[in-house]
Amino acid sequence: MSLIGSRRRALPRGATRRHQPSRGRQNHFDRWLDRAVDVAVLTALAVGTVALLLHLLL
């Protein structure tokens, strides 16, 4: 019997450990970018809601 491709020990399952992101300029930029995307999405939802209401009412 061939052992090609078989593993002797089982692979770990479940959540993987991830490295914590370093605190610094990149993290600050990511938070700023997340805030900008949040504002853009909320603005788009508000404009879409107003447009839908105007379309249904008029």
Q: What b-and-e string marks burial along 13-40, b requiring 16 or more CB atoms within 10 Å of the CB?
A: eeeeeeeeeeeeeeeeeeeeeeeeeeee
pLDDT per residue rounded down to tens, the chain (58 residues): 555 656 666 666 777 777 666 666 668 888 999 999 999 999 999 999 999 999 999 9
pTM for this prediction: 0.54
What local confidence, expressed as pLDDT, does residue 55 receive?
A: 97
Q: How far is Cα 24 from Cα 58, in angstroms, rounded to an integer? A: 51
What local confidence, expressed as pLDDT, does residue 21 receive?
A: 61
